[in-house]
A and B are shown apart, each in its own frame.
Chain A
């Protein structure tokens, strides 16, 4: 049963992080070696080179989003961008209102920030409940709007289940109502079309390490006109990035982010199509061989490379343990530090049991067909083996309706 570990691990966890594209590394290398200047050093070549590289990266990021380079703020990642967007807007607009609309399935960078502001008494937060596919509707958002609503923040694509909110529709609504609209697009950029004007978004967070760039760098798009978004900074100290984010720029990281964005823009159509084919292949192989498999998320409106499946009657961590040659993640409580099952799956109302049985596969740029085939094979084999060991599967085979059973949870 011990698999052959002489093969490299098949990496299907690209939504957690992605490998550095060699081309991105190439672009970064000079700035990790001989071009080490501080981009803020105005008086010598080292500084000018760094500044030029940063400027180029700004253009590359902006081009991916359909924005102006002047609207790109560099940060340490999407978490920081989310913090800046939400805290910055709430504080800046304090005289105008205090209500923020978001969703229960957002990334913790949004949820925890919102909860923090709520606990400080500076904001009222509405956490919209998604439908069972993980989407909210523009109508839901509209019904939640109050006179004092100042910000709507909704992720473009969910990291766990891949579901896509109708951002353009909500953007239109937000624009009509004169409410700033932020979208955490970390999982969406480079995978689905995302143009800030088509989407009518006013702020966008993104992160390099989800798009084959380095960890520790991201960006926040901040609209300059109609509306003009201004934010109270979270980082003070020198006034960099138009006063919105102080701190010496991470030049190599920024160069990497820029290059990553460029590659996304150039290759996104063929890449998304390729990932979709592989994703469907993985799904079909698995569902043709196994029964009692549920898809978590929207079958249609989701990222091309993401598939989150629940394998009923088998627990997620035990499944992962049986496939050490495949890197995936699970919504099971056993795999989380807090011993809580995935809050995203909970919000969908799938029931904790399916959360405990869930596995997320996220295909990426470097995933091959062979990877998918081998992963499917080993998953199928392990699920079958674990079902043989599962008292729940046994009961179901005997015709027992599990929902009618009185469980004695003794701990």
Chain B
């Protein structure tokens, strides 16, 4: 198995390994995959008051490409808003890490992990699409009462 240098780099120096407090309102947690499949990724984001992902952590059970994909995902989501992070595509990960066809599914799982974390965050904060900037037609917007920053 020939790994790209970037995959090896992420494997040997993974970014953002760890955990955030999943009970924290500002934290979104996504767990995807299954042990029987040989791939489980946990990705967490912490969103600041102004809607920007200020921290991200991951833990992965999976091959080197899976670890690299999820490590890269945490790197990429940092500094983005929730909506911007939703735009990350698995194909971006494939290109960045030069994943061979047989490892593409690792990047798909990483994309799923990002989405799961974002969705979890949203469901915990669904009364506040308080991001400045575009919302994506979020249903919550229709029922928004006028409130100051709703995140404690």
Q: Which residues of A are at the interface with B, using a C-beta cutoff of 8 A?
A: 1-2, 313-315, 317-318, 321-322, 332-335, 337, 339, 341, 351-353, 356, 388-394, 402, 407-411
Contact = CB atoms under 8 A, between A and B. Distances in A.
A411 B112 contact: yes
B12 A1 contact: yes
Chain B, interface size category, equals 20 to 34
Contacts of A339: 102
Contact of B38 (A322, A337, A352): A352
A352 B37 contact: yes
B67 A356 contact: no
A318 B17 contact: no
Interface in B81-105: 102, 105
19 contacts: A317-B1, A318-B11, A318-B63, A318-B64, A321-B3, A321-B63, A334-B38, A356-B35, A356-B37, A391-B59, A391-B61, A392-B35, A394-B59, A407-B33, A407-B36, A409-B32, A409-B36, A410-B109, A411-B39
B148 to A, nearest CB: 35
A391 B63 contact: no
Contacts of A335: 1
B150 interface: no
B63 A390 contact: no
A34 B102 CA distance: 47
A232 B63 CA distance: 46
Contact of A409 (B14, B37, B60): B37
B51 interface: no
A331 to B, nearest CB: 10
B34 to A, nearest CB: 4
A333 B37 CA distance: 8
A410 B17 CA distance: 22
A407 B36 CA distance: 10
A334 B62 contact: yes
B63 A315 contact: yes
Contacts, number: 100
B63 A317 contact: yes
Which residue of B37, B42, B63, B116 has the most chain A CB atoms within 10 A of its CB atom?
B63
A1 B67 CA distance: 16
B19 interface: yes
Contact of A318 (B37, B42, B62, B116): B62
Contacts of A351: 36
A393 B40 CA distance: 11
B108 interface: yes
Contact of A411 (B42, B67, B108): B108
A23 B130 CA distance: 77
Contact of B34 (A314, A341, A394, A409): A409
B31 A408 contact: yes
Nearest to B108: A411
A314 B34 CA distance: 13
Contacts of B60: 389-391
Prevailing SS type, chain A contact patch: loop
B56 interface: no
A1 B10 CA distance: 12
Interface centre among A317, A333, A391, A407 (most CB of B within 10 A): A391
B11 A411 contact: no
Contacts of A408: 31-32, 34, 116
A2 to B, nearest CB: 6
Contacts of A321: 1, 3, 11, 63-64
B41 interface: yes
Nearest to B35: A353
A332 B38 contact: yes
B40 A407 contact: yes
Contacts of B19: 394
Contact of A315 (B14, B59, B62): B62
Contacts of B31: 391, 407-408
Contacts of A1: 12-13
A411 B38 contact: no
Contact of A2 (B12, B14, B61): B12
Given A318-B63, A321-B64, A390-B60, A333 B109 contact: no
A322 B3 CA distance: 12
Contacts of A333: 37-38
B97 to A, nearest CB: 14
A310 to B, nearest CB: 12
A358 to B, nearest CB: 11
Nearest to A388: B17
Contacts of B108: 411
Interface in B1-46: 1, 3, 11-14, 17, 19, 31-42
